[in-house]
Amino acid sequence: MMADPSVSAPKLEFAAGGGLLSRRMLLRGAAAGSGAALAALAMPRPAQAEPALPEWVTVAGERARGYGMPAEQEADVQRAIIEPFGDLARAFSLSGTPHHKLRGTITPNGLHFEVHHGGRPNLDPDGHRLMIHGMVERPIKFDLNALERYPMVTATHFLECSGNSFFNAVMPEPMQSGCDMLHGLLSNSEWTGVPVRVLLEEAGVRPEGRWVLAVGNDAPSLARSIPVEKLMDDAFVALYQNGERIRPEQGYPMRLLLPGFEGNMNVKWLTSLWVTDAPAYTKHESGEYTEILANGSSVKFTFAMGVKSVITHPSATMTMSGPGFYEISGIAWSGAGSVRKVEISADGGESWAEAALQEPVLPRALTRFRLPWRWEGAPTLLMSRAEDATGAVQPTRSSWKARYDPSNFLHYNAIQPWQITPEGSVQNVYA
């Protein structure tokens, strides 16, 4: 079938320099009109003879299987694993989500990022208990079966390691890697579990109980001090991730979920909530997750993650398939609430166009943004800039760097520029 000539020449509505098109075109395209016309550019010509039949339509398909797996051809969609100290410390590892190979907002469970300070424990769920003790009226414990009977909540939230994007924060020259290495310590899931408030109220927190030490049931017994206010607000003990039991890598059989707070505080394999009157100053809140500032002093208890965005399509290591129409697509998030706005520049920040945000835009969750774009084949500097509901806007890399000691690689949320060469190669740059 030939394309309808009446829609074959869409009127392009430009929104900013560098070929950025109006997001309204995207919305109209969903109905028909210009979007269909753009799609029609790739319509195949009708063949003369009956084509040969592929084999799979001539034989019975495969039998059912109990747990579905990705297509064999997608076997290269993997987390990027970094073991910074190699054999010397294999239990210390990072695994980055390959955002450049994913679309949508939910991270598949097998691709959720991991940061391990002591490896993944071989934990027996029958022997696992969650204890609530310290400054409480009634020290109590729960096994998994007991928690299963509690009223649960379901909420979609991102988790981001406070060290996400650390290569961009500290490497003198931009590293040419994909979004798995550059921004992969970030994922987004629908979590289901029991509000911590319900469990703390059952134990009865004494008036002097202001902080709670959360401890994991893993080799290093990872521990973080958390203000009671956060636990009484929106925290929960997550038992399910995207509908199924939490994966061993994510804290099976239960983890703490603190919406918007840095990943390390969302303690996996949660076994103890010890109520205290002050923070314990654990190793992770003393040195690992404090930030040294430009003036040599440090900041501590920097819990929430700042507003941030990354264009995933196109992104570094990709190659453009020639000039013409593309949809710019990326993810935005903030630990302070919802994403209010994402702007895109295709001319190095000279002009900006507002991207369409995929509904629902949820607080402290990944938001997918999109904008149609006609790439002319010229050198192009692409950037996205997110603003959250509090009005906070992503900084440039140079203004972020100016706040911190050169060694700091935590809480990096600067704008990510991608340079597209005339040949169509997409490269990481600092701009």
Partner 1 sequence: MSMRSVIAAAALASLADMAAAGGPGLGVPLAADESPFYAIYAMPDGRGLPPGSGTAADGAEIYAAKCAQCHGETGIEGPIMPPVGPNDVWEKPAGKYWPYATTIFAYIRRAMPLDAPKSLSNNEAYALTAFILSRNGVIAEGDTITAETLPDVAMPNRDNFTDVWATQGAKPW
Scanning residues 233 to 292, which ones bind partner 1 (CB under 8 A)?
260-261, 271-272, 274, 276, 278, 280-283, 286-288, 290-292
Size of the site for partner 1 (CB under 8 A): 76
Task: Compute the least distance from the CB of residue 173 to partner 1, in Å.
Answer: 20
Q: Is 144 in the site for partner 1 (CB under 8 A)?
A: no
Pairwise CA distance, residues 313 & 305, whole Å: 23
Residue 352 one-letter amino acid: W
Task: Compute the least distance from the CB of residue 341 to partner 1, in Å.
Answer: 17
Please choose, out of 34-42, 75-83, 134-142, 172-180, the segment that lies near partner 1 by the rule CB under 8 A. Answer: 134-142
Within residues 406-425, the interface with partner 1 by CB under 8 A covers 407, 411
Within residues 364-403, the interface with partner 1 by CB under 8 A covers 390, 392
Q: Closer to partner 1 by CB, 280 or 381: give it.
A: 280
Pairwise CA distance, residues 51 & 44, whole Å: 13
Of residues 139, 243, 360, 391, which one binds partner 1 by CB under 8 A? Answer: 139
User: x/- binding map, residues 209-238, to partner 1, per CB under 8 A?
Assistant: ----x-x---xxxxx---x-xx--------
Q: What are phi and psi of 166, to 5 degrees?
A: -65, -30
Q: Closer to partner 1 by CB, 113 or 261: give it.
A: 261
Q: Is 142 in the site for partner 1 (CB under 8 A)?
A: yes
Task: Compute the least distance from the CB of residue 135 to partner 1, in Å.
Answer: 11
The dihedral of CA 241, 247, 253, 258: what is its sign? negative
Of residues 26, 40, 140, 381, which one binds partner 1 by CB under 8 A? Answer: 140
Task: Compute the least distance from the CB of residue 89 to partner 1, in Å.
Answer: 6
Pairwise CA distance, residues 25 & 127, whole Å: 57
Q: Closer to partner 1 by CB, 233 or 350: give it.
A: 233
Q: What is the DSSP letter of 160?
A: E
Q: Closer to partner 1 by CB, 4 or 137: give it.
A: 137
Closest CA to 121 of 295, 316, 305, 267: 267
Contact 187, 264 (CB under 8 A): no
Q: Closer to partner 1 by CB, 48 or 122: give it.
A: 122
Contact 3, 37 (CB under 8 A): yes
Task: Compute the least distance from the CB of residue 221 to partner 1, in Å.
Answer: 4
Within residues 302-321, the interface with partner 1 by CB under 8 A covers 302-307
Of residues 40, 77, 106, 131, which one binds partner 1 by CB under 8 A? Answer: 131
Of residues 35, 178, 253, 335, which one binds partner 1 by CB under 8 A? Answer: 335
Calculate Rg over the CA atoms of the chain: 24
Of residues 102, 132, 181, 254, which one binds partner 1 by CB under 8 A? Answer: 132
CA atoms within 13 Å, Cβ hemisphere of 231: 27
Of residues 151, 172, 207, 322, which one binds partner 1 by CB under 8 A? Answer: 151
Angle at CA of residue 189, ends 185 and 192, nearest 5°: 135
Within residues 100-129, the interface with partner 1 by CB under 8 A covers 117-118
Of residues 14, 150, 240, 325, which one binds partner 1 by CB under 8 A? Answer: 150
Residue 43 one-letter amino acid: M
Task: Compute the least distance from the CB of residue 343 to partner 1, in Å.
Answer: 19
Task: Compute the least distance from the CB of residue 332 to partner 1, in Å.
Answer: 14
Q: Is 85 in the site for partner 1 (CB under 8 A)?
A: yes
Pairwise CA distance, residues 141 & 221, whole Å: 18
Q: Which contiguous run of DSSP H or E holds residue 168? A: helix 166-170
Close Cβ partners of 370 (under 8 Å, ≥ 6 residues apart)? 23, 26, 327, 328, 329, 355, 356, 358
Pairwise CA distance, residues 343 & 211, whole Å: 39
**Burial class of residue 47, CB neighbours in 10 A (0-12, 13-18, 19+):** exposed
Pairwise CA distance, residues 347 & 362, whole Å: 30
Q: Closer to partner 1 by CB, 223 or 361: give it.
A: 223
Of residues 185, 194, 366, 420, which one binds partner 1 by CB under 8 A? Answer: 194
Q: Closer to partner 1 by CB, 269 or 418: give it.
A: 269
3 state SS of 215: strand
Close Cβ partners of 87 (under 8 Å, ≥ 6 residues apart)? none
